[in-house]
Amino acid sequence: MKAEVGLIGGTGVGNLLAQESGVPLHVPTPYGVTRGCLVKIEGRSAFLLSRHSAGHSVPPHKVNYRAMACALAQLGAKYCFATAAVGSLDLRHPVGSLLVCSDFLDLTFRNITLFDEKVIHTPFAQPFGSDSRGALLDGARSVGTQVVDGGVYVGLNGPRFETPHEISLLGKIGDVVGMTASSEAIAMKEAGVQYALLAVVTNLGEGLGGDVQHGLVSQAMTELGPKAVSILKQAVGELPK
């Protein structure tokens, strides 16, 4: 079986993608088995993945990013779109904002790589794929949803949330903060899959206003998730032929 594109749903989106009708598929990789579903979206074959698995049971630092990237590469996918619930580091990005990120700063210290056994230095001048980013932006325009073109995603290990002082410091070097997408972007880039991220702001960083609790993040994604899914689906149709 083949897939042209992968869709990865994070908090509040993975469960929505899991409701799509398709063919369940288990893909063995050198890093373990990746479980997903093959569907048709906009006339293209897509492999749908839930980042945190059923019931949101896998924490961010234990997600098998390498297996997901290898599975998509083995299926022949050239592109991957993903969502991620993020905290805002800048009041210009209030709750409900959507960003198609253009760069990241990885502070997870997970050392995610597909090249443990040989020396390969992958260029990261474009941390997110140009074609995949463009398709996400076009997808958002097509469904009439405003998104921010660009932004720096700061990746932390989690699963705890950040302190006010950490947010104050991170706000000087990034736009949003999360626990998954920088690891995912590294694995996808090394696997040769163009990756693009739709960052969904679910909360202001600690100290910027409001509570920071997982329950509130999940609640925000319940409201924002359907909008994110519609953008992902439309973006599939916007990819180069």
Helix (H) or strand (E) holding 168: helix 164-170
Q: What's the CATH code of the domain at 142?
A: 3.40.50.1580
Q: What is the pLDDT of residue 211?
A: 75
Name which of 108-122, 130-144, 214-228 the model is least confident about.
214-228
Evaluate if residue 144 carries a pLDDT over 80.
yes
Joined together, the tokens standing for residue 54 give 């059923």
- Closest C-alpha among 185, 186, 151 to residue 171: 151
168-220 pLDDT, tens per residue? Answer: 999 999 999 999 999 999 999 999 999 999 999 999 999 998 778 777 777 87
Q: What is the pLDDT of residue 219?
A: 80
Q: What is the average per-residue pLDDT within 140-145?
A: 95
Q: Are 49 and 68 in contact (CB under 8 A)?
A: yes
- The residues near 135 (Cβ < 8 Å, ≥ 6 apart) are 79, 81, 196, 235, 236, 238, 239
Of residues 31 and 241, the one with the higher pLDDT is: 31
Rounded distance between C-alpha atoms, residue 38 and residue 6, angstroms:
9
Q: How many CA atoms are closer than 13 Å to the CA of 140, on its beta-carbon side?
A: 20
pTM of the model: 0.94
What domain count does the chain have? 1
Residue 129 is part of which domain span? 5-238
- Closest C-alpha among 73, 6, 47, 16 to residue 239: 6
73-114 pLDDT, tens per residue? Answer: 999 999 999 999 999 999 999 999 999 999 999 999 999 999
